[in-house]
C-alpha cells in the first residue's frame, strides 16, 4: 500500500470511529445497556421469587390434601378455628398492649 492509499485508509478509519462515537452518544447506548442489565437482574429475582412461591403453593396444596385424611390434623384445624381445648389443657393467650393515643 502506498502512502496515498494509507492516508485515505486512516482518514476513513478515523471518520468511521467518529461516526460510531457520535451514534453511541446520540442513542445513549451506555445508559440503555445499564438499564437492560438492571431489568435482567430484576427479572431473575422475580423468577426466583415466583419459583419459591410456587413451591410454597405446592406444599400448601399437599398439606391441604393430607388434611382431609389425617384425623389428628382435622382435630387440630377444628380446635384452632373454634378455639376449643381438651379437658385438662391450659391455654395461654398473649394479648397486645393497648395503644396510647
Task: Give per-residue pLDDT as tens, 14-48.
Answer: 999 999 999 988 889 999 999 999 999 999 999 99
Sequence-distant (≥ 6) Cβ neighbours of residue 78 within 8 angstroms: 84
Question: Cα–Cα distance between 19 and 64 in angstroms, integer?
Answer: 65
Domain contains 88: no
How many domains does the chain contain in total? Answer: 1
Domain contains 89: no
Mean pLDDT of the chain: 88
Which pLDDT value is given to residue 1? 66
pTM, rounded to two decimals: 0.49
- CA distances 12 to 1, 4, 7, Å, are 15, 13, 9
Domain contains 37: yes
Domain contains 11: yes
CA angle 33, 38, 39 (to 5 degrees): 95
Domain contains 67: yes
Domain contains 96: no
Under 8 Å between Cβ of 36 and 29: no
Structural domain span for residue 52: 3-82
Amino acid at each position: 500500500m502506498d502512502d496515498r492509499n494509507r492516508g485515505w485508509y486512516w482518514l476513513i478509519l478515523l471518520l468511521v470511529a467518529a461516526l460510531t462515537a457520535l451514534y453511541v452518544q446520540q442513542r445513549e447506548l451506555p445508559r440503555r445497556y445499564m438499564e437492560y442489565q438492571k431489568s435482567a437482574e430484576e427479572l431473575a429475582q422475580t423468577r426466583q421469587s415466583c419459583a419459591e412461591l410456587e413451591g410454597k403453593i405446592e406444599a400448601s396444596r399437599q398439606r391441604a390434601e393430607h388434611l382431609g385424611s389425617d384425623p389428628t390434623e382435622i382435630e387440630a384445624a377444628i380446635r384452632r378455628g373454634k378455639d376449643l381445648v381438651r379437658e385438662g389443657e391450659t391455654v395461654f393467650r398473649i394479648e397486645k398492649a393497648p395503644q396510647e393515643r
